[in-house]
Amino acid sequence: MPIVIQLDVMLALRKVKSKDLAVAIGITEANLSLLKQGKVKGIRLATLDAICDYLDCQPGDLLVREAQIA
């Protein structure tokens, strides 16, 4: 997948537990875990906005595009 979700990195930088983030933004810990692992095909903009608001970051801090080798 060329887009990598670096939510675990931001959680570590902010010293926030996954459980606390899940409760704060209103999603299950299981869904947050899938998101952290990159096992989702999409993310709602409202969810991304809530994550960024809680972690005080920008979407670009969480989503990184990997270079593809041709």
Give the pair of three-digit tokens for residue 40: 């989702």
pLDDT bracket for residue 67 (50, 70, 90): confident
pLDDT for residue 1 is more than 70 = no
In whole angstroms, give the CA distance from residue 3 to residue 23.
Answer: 25
Rounded CA-CA distance 70/58 in Å is 30
Q: Residue 20 corresponds to which amino acid?
A: D
If one looks up domain 3-65 in CATH, what number appears?
A: 1.10.260.40
pLDDT tens profile 19-66: 999 999 999 999 999 999 989 999 999 999 999 999 999 999 999 998
Domain ranges of the chain: 3-65
pTM of the model: 0.89
